[in-house]
Chain A
């Protein structure tokens, strides 16, 4: 289990950028913190609804440029790996923003996977998530197998999705 861990630091082109926030990496190998949030239509969505599925929990915000650049890849992989049960949940970190504003941004970015409204408590349970995008790859057993802080390359993201799909039993 632990030999599957891959740390993907944000890949800043400038070597002077410091290390990313790694608080969330402490969750690797542990059960993904449970949550129930509302989606943009007001419907309750729980992580436990997707038990038995590999799930990507992607924290993002409308003001985060790198988030918006990686989200179309997530949309593409969501469709590509749908047959293997792969699910994506996009957790907005736009505190104070209306569902309409977040929905408009999501539509503009071109994503159709569930976008969930912000909840500071959930972000805290995932290590603070003070560095966006931050993505948690949760296996079929509900365990966090990978964490990335910052946008990885598209190839890295797909490799992590494949590992997550392959990891963990139902």
Chain B
């Protein structure tokens, strides 16, 4: 799965490079621009850059329990950690709605050091690939749902997207 995604990424990048070369050489640049615009839109439509891997958790009902939510950042992208070095950067924050499952607090992982490869570069504190946010929760007996959002701001090596919110919905079974 991972390798097929990687191959797809390489193909996409290859296509993009080819498109740029072709467009530079064509006299009818205007029509080519429209096609490239279409490619951009299609790619943009699926750009969330972070996915939730955890969909269900089983816990002991009525007790404080530590659980972990697993997230994955799209290859080639990074998001700021919960504690980015620069106060202007947007931190990753998980917000759980009040509901049947009571959340006591979150435990964020440490970020990893990443140098932005633009010019002299800048050292950032980021999450890449898979990361896990811990939660202390108290869940009722039986089936319930924990909902919330993960707010994050993603960048690749040359550019950034505005902050986004990933819906988080986890089925909880209290035994």
**A18-59 interface bits toward B, Cβ cutoff 8 Å, 1 = contact, 0 = none:** 111111011011000000000000000000000000000000
Given contacts A28-B33, A65-B124, contact A21 B40 (CB under 8 A): yes
Contact of A67 among B5, B77, B160 (CB under 8 A): B160
* Residues of A with C-beta under 8 A to B76: 12, 14-18
* Residues of B with C-beta under 8 A to A23: 37, 40-41, 44
Contact of B9 among A15, A93, A105 (CB under 8 A): A15
Output the least CB separation between A109 and chain B (Å): 10
Distance of A64 Cα from B10 Cα, bound (Å): 25
Q: How many residues from B make CB contacts under 8 Å with A? A: 53
Given contacts A3-B27, A5-B23, contact A19 B43 (CB under 8 A): yes
* Residues of B with C-beta under 8 A to A105: 88
Pick the most buried of B10, B24, B29, B86: most chain A CB atoms within 10 A of its CB: B29
Q: Which of B50-58, B62-70, B95-103, B151-159 contacts A (4 or more CB under 8 A)?
A: B151-159
Contact of A151 among B28, B36, B47, B159 (CB under 8 A): B159
Binding site for B on A (CB under 8 A): 2-3, 5-7, 9-23, 25-26, 28-29, 61-70, 73, 93, 105, 127, 130-134, 149-151, 154
